[in-house]
Amino acid sequence: MQAAYRPIRVALLGAGSVGSQVARLLIENADELASRVGTQLELTGVAVRNLDSKRDSDIPKELLTTDAEGLILSSDIVIELIGGIEPAKTWVKLALSSGSDVITANKALVAAHGPELFDLAEQLGAQLYFEAAVAGAIPIIRPLRESLAGDRVDRVMGIVNGTTNFILDRMESTGADFDDALAEAQELGYAEADPTADIEGFDAASKAAILASLAFHSEVPVEKVYREGITKVTALTIETAREAGYAVKLLAICERIQTESGEGLVARVHPTLIPLEHPLAAVRGAYNAVFVEAESAGQLMFYGAGAGGAETASAILGDLVSAAKRHVAGGPGLADSVHANLEVLPIQSITTRFQITLQVRDLPGVLASIASVFAKHEVSVETVSQSAANAKTSAILTVMTHAASEADLESVVSELESNSAVQNINSVIRVEGI
Amino acid sequence: MQAAYRPIRVALLGAGSVGSQVARLLIENADELASRVGTQLELTGVAVRNLDSKRDSDIPKELLTTDAEGLILSSDIVIELIGGIEPAKTWVKLALSSGSDVITANKALVAAHGPELFDLAEQLGAQLYFEAAVAGAIPIIRPLRESLAGDRVDRVMGIVNGTTNFILDRMESTGADFDDALAEAQELGYAEADPTADIEGFDAASKAAILASLAFHSEVPVEKVYREGITKVTALTIETAREAGYAVKLLAICERIQTESGEGLVARVHPTLIPLEHPLAAVRGAYNAVFVEAESAGQLMFYGAGAGGAETASAILGDLVSAAKRHVAGGPGLADSVHANLEVLPIQSITTRFQITLQVRDLPGVLASIASVFAKHEVSVETVSQSAANAKTSAILTVMTHAASEADLESVVSELESNSAVQNINSVIRVEGI
């Protein structure tokens, strides 16, 4: 044990599933945490909206308070677990302004207002920790901030939303269509009554913005993250993919892009085909995983639970021990530099492979007509396979391209839409991990 | 950029494949590293045994020196990449004694003399970093030291030796026997001319000692790590395992054990059956992965390259940025507490499942006789399958047990050895990950 140091006062904002677990661990493991930190961590209070709400936790009643501001101002470290932008943002700013360190699991807040909050923290010598904001229990923020600090990250591809991974996994394993898999996820508590934030990719986009800003030391506004949800993925999409040797995953992809004027970055969230033998394809159920490609380290993957009260609490406690040790001993903390300042480019800047599925008229010369559209826009086709559609006069074409620019592919799709032989463009899916 | 701070002097001991890459990255990425750290990192010299040795690197000749001690004494941070115990140990102690931080990739040194070196570092306010010592580029030390600092780790299972994973993977995918797979590994440079340290599990045992000490905050002498290599694994072992739904992996397993008097830990390295659907089973070739089970975080896995010059250099540079930032700003560093001080127990303390393969005389009553041996020692059998052996008078029995204590299983094996119906005990393999 180190020399005596006064207890560190810890305030908790929110007593939901994560907050309850954090409170429990702080109380049950007080001695163990004290020996890891070098002094006691004292839970001084838990701010809640309503003292009388029913809770599934054993937080001692005397710790509950509705006076969040008073609690914040009398603490050394504030753990923000209320989520959403307000009042979380106001309270985090109040805490940082009063010199407290802040630990948050709030990806929406970090993605939308990270730069403002980090600036404020830096001016005041306080720290903002957010390991729990991306991929729950998986330590990914710390490796990006520290372990890879001497390397150059080229690409991050993550399954960062457990709800959509669960839905896609169920669709794949049972053949269910999207609506049924969503209903099952809702019954099991993996999806909310209003699932928009998950299935439309908003949650994953927040995490993509955070991952991209850390990986590339640049400011990445969440509005500049390209976003496409999974609502258009059908059982047929998944079956077709599987037959061709691919899994369909909602990926958050952040990559460094070489441009004529230098370097930029693209962050994007969309359903993606990845080869079945890729490590990300084996991530089942509601699990999360983040795959990182760095210049020297090569390929790394971090895998674990992406949500859950206890799991997220583990990440919060890890940050808490770091913050508390820094209170005891001082030190550099985790300033998030945006020194590289890469420009966030639109998705048209990327180069990738595409699978396009088309319903076409089953007439002689159609294939040649379609192929010429790809050729005209310099998109090279690797394979075309044809299968019969329902109507006798239609066929389904599945086209896999070689690497092509998104911009060129958009031109192809636009021209296919007006091609008289094309009855419908069933899907256009990017292919990664080859 | 922070305010000006004097350059930090970095010394490199060793100019092998890792050292060359570290030197290259320090020189090529000097500006980028300076903006991450807040000041310049100056490579002051590279200690080598012989100035005239041929090297596959572009280290500027004027940086090379044979005066390791002089170099150490004029540096702020020393990177030790010579490997082995001496002179590495003497030089690391000299560096720490002079107040320098030390970064090492030397698992043998950390496993054998870690406690002595950590004590010395703590007395002198210096730091010892060793992310590269376990699983190469994979950030596993830092997550165990920091991210899981508020959690309770129950178990760590790692594929931490790329050579043996490559050999077992080749045996599985090609049906080759051990000797042929080893020869292939040697041809491809994955195994050394003298492969003993890898194939007999010494390398993995060093890493198991380090992982166990970090996971359980206890001192774990490498001599107390149970160690069994892969030399007895045959093509038949692997085929039999695969048919039953398992992969054979050399795992380093560290686990917390409840005893009558409290808690202890066991660290062990041995060939292990794991279910094909377990994330570790999908780790192919020379890749490494570490699977962690923690009370709150649940199951986590860290995957990546376990060796290689550039990959290991990435981990070294991550540590270097941390160490250098601490030079600029001070701070708590990474003291490795052994406050939990769990006793390291012998392997007889574990409970696990076993697969035992026996060649027996093919006579009526043999199965009953074998089964009674298991029953007598309270080892419950889950399945027995019988197949014909080469000789007409023999049969092969494959027995899968339920969870049983290692001590009881040893009694079973010992009694089977003297059973007149048993012609040979072909293999006894522990089964994990179910």
- What is the value of pTM for the model shown? 0.87
Strand partners, B387: B396
The mean per-residue pLDDT over the stretch B238-257 comes to 95
Contacting residues for B428 by C-beta, under 8 A, at least 6 apart: B354, B355, B356, B357, B409, B413
Determine the distance in angstroms separating the CA of B132 from the nearest CA of chain A, rounded to an integer: 10
Q: Which chain A residues are closer than 8 Å to B148 by Cβ?
A: 139, 314, 318
Q: Is there a contact between A111 and A210 (Cβ–Cβ < 8 Å)?
A: yes
Interface test with B, best of A151, A278, A287, A337 (most B CBs within 10 A): A151
Cis peptide before B87 (omega within 30 of 0): yes
Chain A from 212 to 251: CB within 8 A of any B CB: 217
Alpha helices in B175-308 (DSSP H): 178-187, 196-199, 202-216, 235-243
Determine the distance in angstroms separating the CA of B419 from the nearest CA of chain A, rounded to an integer: 45
Q: Which chain B residues are closer than 8 Å to A296 by Cβ?
A: 21, 25, 137, 310-311, 313-314, 317
Determine the distance in angstroms separating the CA of B116 from the nearest CA of chain A, rounded to an integer: 18
Q: Is there a contact between A316 and A79 (Cβ–Cβ < 8 Å)?
A: yes
Determine the distance in angstroms separating the CA of A367 from the nearest CA of chain B, rounded to an integer: 40
Q: Is there a contact between B2 and B39 (Cβ–Cβ < 8 Å)?
A: yes
- What's the one-letter identity of residue A7? P
Out of A311, A315, A331, closest to residue B326 by CB? A331
Is pLDDT above 90 for B327?
no
Closest C-alpha to A168, from A201, A217, A145: A201
Is A315 part of the contact surface with chain B (CB cutoff 8 Å)?
yes
Verify whether the Cβ–Cβ distance A317 to B149 is below 8 Å.
yes
Q: Is there a contact between B146 and A334 (Cβ–Cβ < 8 Å)?
A: no
Domains of chain A: 8-129 (3.40.50.720), 144-306 (3.30.360.10), 350-431 (3.30.70.260)
List the structure tokens of A109. Answer: 């807040």
Residue B336 is predicted with a pLDDT of: 57
| Top-confidence residue, B389 or A216 | A216
Contacting residues for A61 by C-beta, under 8 A, at least 6 apart: none
Q: Which of A54, A89, A93, A207 is catalytic?
A: A207
Chain A from 112 to 131: CB within 8 A of any B CB: 131
Residue B434 is predicted with a pLDDT of: 85
User: Is-catalytic flag, B89?
Assistant: no
Chain A from 18 to 37: CB within 8 A of any B CB: 21, 25, 29, 32-33, 35-36
Return the percentage of chain B with pLDDT > 70, whole number. Answer: 96
| pLDDT tens for the 434 residues of chain A, in order | 444 678 999 999 999 889 999 999 999 989 888 888 888 999 999 999 988 887 767 788 899 999 999 999 999 999 999 999 999 999 999 999 999 999 999 999 999 998 899 889 988 888 899 988 888 888 888 888 877 878 899 999 999 999 999 999 999 999 999 999 999 999 998 888 999 999 999 999 999 999 999 899 898 999 999 999 999 999 999 999 999 999 999 999 999 999 888 899 999 999 999 999 899 998 999 999 999 999 999 999 999 988 888 889 999 998 998 889 888 876 655 555 667 788 999 999 999 999 999 999 988 888 899 999 999 999 999 999 988 766 678 899 999 999 999 999 999 999 999 999 999 999 999 999 98
Out of B137, B320, B331, closest to residue A300 by CB? B137
Q: Which chain A residues are closer than 8 Å to B322 by Cβ?
A: 146, 149
Span B179-204, pLDDT tens digits: 999 999 999 988 889 999 999 999 99
Confidence of residue B242 (pLDDT cuts 50, 70, 90): very high
Is B301 part of the contact surface with chain A (CB cutoff 8 Å)?
yes
Is B258 part of the contact surface with chain A (CB cutoff 8 Å)?
no
List the structure tokens of A2. Answer: 């180190």
Which residue in chain B has the smallest CA separation from A217?
Answer: B36
Strand partners, B78: B11, B102
Residue A336 is predicted with a pLDDT of: 57
Verify whether the Cβ–Cβ distance B318 to A131 is below 8 Å.
no
Q: Which of B89, B107, B207, B224 is catalytic?
A: B207
Q: Which chain A residues are closer than 8 Å to B311 by Cβ?
A: 296-298
Q: Which chain A residues are closer than 8 Å to B278 by Cβ?
A: none
Which residue in chain A has the smallest CA separation from B125?
Answer: A329
Strand partners, A301: A291, B303
Contacting residues for A72 by C-beta, under 8 A, at least 6 apart: A11, A13, A47, A78, A91, A94, A95, A98, A100
Q: Which chain A residues are closer than 8 Å to B336 by Cβ?
A: none
Residue B92 is predicted with a pLDDT of: 96
Look at the alpha carbons of A180, A304, B292, B432 in this order and tell me if their dihedral is positive or negative: positive
